[in-house]
Structure 1
Amino acid sequence: MEEQACPRCKTTKYRNPSLKLMVNVCGHALCESCVDLLFLKGSGSCPDCGVPLRRSNFRVQIFEDPFVEKEMDVRRRVMKDYNLREEDFATLREYNDYLEELETIIYNLTNNIEIIATNQRIDKFKRDNKEIISRNRARTGREEMELEELLEEEKQVHENRKRAIVEEELQEKRKKMRNKEALIDELMFSEQSAASIVETFKKRKQEEEEEIEKIEVALPPVAATQFSTGIKFGQRVPKDGFLPVPKEDDTPLYKYEPLVIPRNGPVPPNWNELTEMKYIVHVREASKVEKAGGFLAQLACLRALEEAFDGLFASKKLVVGES
């Protein structure tokens, strides 16, 4: 893996451990020192591609690859407007077409392909879906606020639990310190022997530990907050009710049945016959990159033969209407 380095001043992480690479909308990285030097007046051009940039738009690079950083920035900016959901479409096909268009726009902006035309598509989409975009932005804002409240509440519970544990440990230390001081005072001023005093304190400590164990055993168990199915107590039941929990007798075991494809043609050769009958000779050999991706020449050859043989026995009847 190549070490991170500024492409302009060639400073590396090895020579400067505090090196911070920063990127802008163009996706080319610069170290913080070069950004301060080149954009001293607040604006300037990228030394790699010459795109006009502003100093305020630079941000710390998170990913090692600047191209990935650019793609994530483009995706964030585009999805502020392309925030439609599946329920905003009449059919699943329309929603899938929308997702495909979204990925095409992100790809074009990331790779500098048809920038003007792509921005025009974005403007047209914003004009045509202005109300839906505004509604989804408000909905997303509420969901983010609810999520932040839940995270803040969970954080507060964690801090209170941590504070209670610290306070309990501190009280235990103070108690041990008082017992130690009391033992020292007894040894210094009591007329009894040291052995009897130590034995008395040992018995007293043992009695306290037994008392604590009795209290812990007598404490009631913590009440459950949800059923074994994961449904919380007090949760509203839907109008249609919950789905019944399947029983073992109601759910038969899965039995595999091989798929039978009606080919209506001659039986194509199998995997071994591809080499024996020299079908594979007419297909180019897969490259190392293709093999790494799981592609084999036999797969392409077998698929081509199956498609060629399929439906060869089919016949069409010509129906002539009365003229």
Structure 2
Amino acid sequence: MDDQACPRCKTTKYRNPSLKLMVNICGHALCESCVDLLFLKGSGSCPECNVPLRRCNFRVQLFEDSTVEKEVDIRKRVLRDFNKKEEDFMSLKEYNDYLEEVECIIYNLTNNIDVIETNKRIEQYKKENKEMILRNKIKIGKEELELEELLEEEKQCDEIRKKELIKEEQELKKKKIREKEALIDELMFSNADAKNIVNAFTQSAQAAKEELKQTTSSPAPKATQFSTGIKFGRAQHTVYPMPKIEDGPLFTYKAPEVVVDGPEPPLWNSIETTGYIVHMRPETIEERAGGYTANIACMRALQEAFVGLYHVKQRPEPANTDG
């Protein structure tokens, strides 16, 4: 309960269940009443660290530990300038070093370690990467704007769908009331047997249900839209023909010529006849379905065995005996 208490007025959650603790950039919590009292003119200083604060920057504390709130604020502020992406670096190591540097800066500011030097590093970085920071901010702003537009579009579609469902339910209720009134009128003013009238209405209602079920059993495929705004479904895509390349002759396969200096390796057809295959494990049905046979493994083993004999030594050039 000590963590959930205002450090100034000592009010706790136990005494006041509706207590709201608020934090600012310094990370020290104050209850809402103390914030209104101390920052009546809109600005003031923190009672614990004397950091100048503004009333508009106070917000309700979400985490029990105020240090976490402070780290969240610092992380948001630092990442607004340190907004590089992985594609901005030449290698993954450089990107990881950059992320490590960002975490060190956040840790120092959160725990009040070398605050002055850390702020100098931030200012130096902002000067050296001013154009890239601005470009990435514009890019992030566009992405956020597009996401907000997609979410707003999704919200509007949901509202339209809800209105349609409510309208369908109301129409269904009105239809049931009309059918009920028609059945009552038929029973009151018709001379036919009441049992037959009820059966006729029941059969008519069942037929209408079956017809409705058949019409709704195979609806047209609709796109599914998730919270990201990306639509999935059987959409019609334009298929462009592949360009024809007529330059040059057509490809013709030619078997490679292997120059060996030693015994010739066995051919594919002679692997089984010469008895090499008896030393190999036969392939299973699943392996054979995948295109693998024992002959392939045998041929590879033989080629690896003979590979040392394939090397052809360069013959020395004849000595020049002229003159």
Class of the TM-score when normalised by the shorter of the 2 chains: 0.5 to 0.7
The answer for the alignment partner of 1:249 in structure 2 is 290
Query: Structure 2 vs 1, CA of residues 32 and 188 (structure 1 numbering), >3 Å: closer, same or farther?
Result: same
What are the Cα deviations for residues 219-272 of structure 1, in whole angstroms up to 9, with x where unaligned?
5652789xxxx99763899x9xxxxxxxx9389xxxxxxxxxxxxxxxxxxxxx
Q: What SS does the corresponding residue of 1:27 show, helix, strand or coil? A: coil
Q: What SS does the corresponding residue of 1:53 show, helix, strand or coil? A: strand
Query: Is this contact kept in 2: 1:23–1:30, CA < 8 A?
Result: yes
What are the Cα deviations for residues 91-122 of structure 1, in whole angstroms up to 9, with x where unaligned?
32222221111111101110111111111111
In 1, Cα distance between equivalents of 2:88 and 2:194: 84
How big is the shift at 1:45?
1.8
The answer for the alignment partner of 2:82 in structure 1 is 82
Residue segments in structure 2 that go unaligned for 5+ positions in a row: 225-232, 243-288, 293-323
Query: Is this contact kept in 2: 1:82–1:102, CA < 8 A?
Result: yes
Query: Which structure: larger Rg?
Result: 2
The answer for the alignment partner of 2:70 in structure 1 is 70
Counterpart residue type for residue 68 of structure 2: V
Query: Is this contact kept in 2: 1:3–1:13, CA < 8 A?
Result: no
Query: Is this contact kept in 2: 1:183–1:198, CA < 8 A?
Result: yes
**Is residue 2:210 matched to residue 1:234?**
no
The answer for the alignment partner of 1:60 in structure 2 is 60
The answer for the alignment partner of 2:208 in structure 1 is 208
The answer for the alignment partner of 1:282 in structure 2 is none
In 2, Cα distance between equivalents of 1:40 and 1:232: 58
In 2, Cα distance between equivalents of 1:236 and 1:36: 64
Q: Which moved more, 1:192-201 or 1:63-72?
A: 192-201
In 2, Cα distance between equivalents of 1:144 and 1:74: 21
How big is the shift at 1:201?
1.6
Query: Is this contact kept in 2: 1:23–1:61, CA < 8 A?
Result: yes
How big is the shift at 1:30?
0.8
**Is residue 2:26 matched to residue 1:23?**
no
Q: Which moved more, 1:22-31 or 1:156-165?
A: 156-165
The answer for the alignment partner of 1:150 in structure 2 is 150
Query: Structure 2 vs 1, CA of residues 250 and 117 (structure 1 numbering), >3 Å: closer, same or farther?
Result: farther
Query: Structure 2 vs 1, CA of residues 11 and 190 (structure 1 numbering), >3 Å: closer, same or farther?
Result: farther
- TM-score normalised to structure 2 length: 0.65
- TM-score normalised to structure 1 length: 0.65
Query: Structure 2 vs 1, CA of residues 250 and 81 (structure 1 numbering), >3 Å: closer, same or farther?
Result: farther
Query: Structure 2 vs 1, CA of residues 189 and 2 (structure 1 numbering), >3 Å: closer, same or farther?
Result: farther
Query: Structure 2 vs 1, CA of residues 159 and 19 (structure 1 numbering), >3 Å: closer, same or farther?
Result: same
The answer for the alignment partner of 1:222 in structure 2 is 221
The answer for the alignment partner of 2:297 in structure 1 is none
Report sequence identity in percent: 62
**Is residue 2:107 matched to residue 1:107?**
yes
Query: Structure 2 vs 1, CA of residues 223 and 19 (structure 1 numbering), >3 Å: closer, same or farther?
Result: closer
How big is the shift at 1:14?
4.1
RMSD: 3.0
In 1, Cα distance between equivalents of 2:207 and 2:91: 73
Counterpart residue type for residue 249 of structure 1: G
